[in-house]
Amino acid sequence: KQEVTQIPAALSVPEGENLVLNCSFTDSAIYNLQWFRQDPGKGLTSLLLIQSSQREQTSGRLNASLDKSSGRSTLYIAASQPGDSATYLCAKGRNYGQNFVFGPGTRLSVLP
């Protein structure tokens, strides 16, 4: 049983579109939630971190929200660009200092 899920698994959009990536988690124990970007064959780049006491975080064209009651987080990307093409992973931290549990990722392609 997968604790963290992400929908959709893959997404292809034309450049300039706004888009939403979804992350759901079943275990209500959450310390924080982190969104990452991974380019092919590369490590993970941290995008946004939301503490369990927060509702959202913003960085540039990215906005992440967290709804603990429904077990969901969304990553909103505004005015998408071809350079945004990558796999986006969400990860849930259960407790301070412990490992995060990852979702399977969403592969995003932004077409020029």
Partner 1 sequence: GAVVSQHPSRVICKSGTSVKIECRSLDFQATTMFWYRQFPKQSLMLMATSNEGSKATYEQGVEKDKFLINHASLTLSTLTVTSAHPEDSSFYICSTIQAPINEQFFGPGTRLTVL
Which residues of the chain form contacts with partner 1 (CB under 8 A)?
A: 31-32, 34, 36, 41-46, 49, 51, 89, 91, 93, 96-105
| Residue 58 Rama label (left phi>0; alpha psi -120 to 50; beta) | beta
**Separation of alpha carbons 86 and 39, rounded Å:** 5
Whole-number minimum distance, CB 18 to partner 1, in Å? 25
Whole-angstrom Cα distance, residue 107 to residue 89? 9
Min separation Cβ 8 and partner 1, Å: 14
Q: Which residue, 1 or 112, has its beta carbon nearer to partner 1?
A: 1
Q: Considering the complex, state which of residue 29 and residue 79 has its C-beta at the smaller distance from partner 1.
A: 29
